[in-house]
Amino acid sequence: MRPVDRGSCPIDEGGVPKKFHPYTKAQKDIINRLGEYCSYCERPLSNVAIEHLLPKKWYPSCQEKWNNFLPTCLNCNTNKRWSMEKRWKFKEGESLPSEKTVLALYYWPDRDNTASIFKYGEGGIIEINLSLNPSQKLKAQITLDLTKLERYDGNDEDPPPVTDRRSQKRREAWNIAKQQLDDLNNKNITTKSVIQLAKAIGFWSVWMTVFQEDSEMLKLLIDAFPGTRKDCFDDLGHPVPLQENPPKPIENPSLRQESRYTIADVLPRSQEPSLLDWLEASGRLMSREDRESEYAIDEEEIAALMSVEDTTYDDDGDELVEED
Which residues lie near Zn ion (CB under 5 A)?
38, 40-41, 73, 76
Identify the burial level of 232 via C-beta atoms within 10 angstroms of its C-beta, where 0-12 means exposed, 13-18 middle and 19 or more buried: buried
By beta-carbon proximity to Zn ion, the closer residue of 116 and 167 is 167
By beta-carbon proximity to Zn ion, the closer residue of 35 and 237 is 35
Min dist CB 92 to Zn ion, Å, is 29
| Measured CA angle at 7 (ends 6, 8), to 5 deg | 125
By beta-carbon proximity to Zn ion, the closer residue of 76 and 176 is 76
By beta-carbon proximity to Zn ion, the closer residue of 64 and 164 is 164
Min dist CB 74 to Zn ion, Å, is 8
| Measured CA angle at 74 (ends 68, 76), to 5 deg | 65
By beta-carbon proximity to Zn ion, the closer residue of 53 and 76 is 76
Min dist CB 244 to Zn ion, Å, is 28
Query: Going by DSSP bridges, is the β-strand pair 125-128/69-72 parallel, antiparallel, or unpaired?
Result: unpaired
By beta-carbon proximity to Zn ion, the closer residue of 49 and 224 is 49
Identify the burial level of 136 via C-beta atoms within 10 angstroms of its C-beta, where 0-12 means exposed, 13-18 middle and 19 or more buried: buried
Min dist CB 144 to Zn ion, Å, is 13
Min dist CB 79 to Zn ion, Å, is 8
Min dist CB 95 to Zn ion, Å, is 31
Q: How many CB atoms lie within 10 A of CB 291?
A: 10
Min dist CB 187 to Zn ion, Å, is 35
Min dist CB 218 to Zn ion, Å, is 23
Sorted by sequence, the CB contacts under 8 Å of residue 137 that are 6+ apart come out as: 128, 129, 130
By beta-carbon proximity to Zn ion, the closer residue of 79 and 136 is 79
By beta-carbon proximity to Zn ion, the closer residue of 205 and 245 is 205
Contact (CB, 8 A) for 174 and 147: no
Question: What type of residue is 203?
Answer: F
Contact (CB, 8 A) for 1 and 109: yes
Backbone angles phi, psi at 272, to 5 degrees: -65, 145
- d(C-alpha 205, C-alpha 225), whole Å: 11
Residue 22: asked if its preceding bond is cis (omega within 30°), the reply is: yes
Residue 210 vs residues 32, 113, 201, 204, 226: alpha-carbon distances, Å: 27, 19, 14, 10, 20
- d(C-alpha 34, C-alpha 134), whole Å: 31
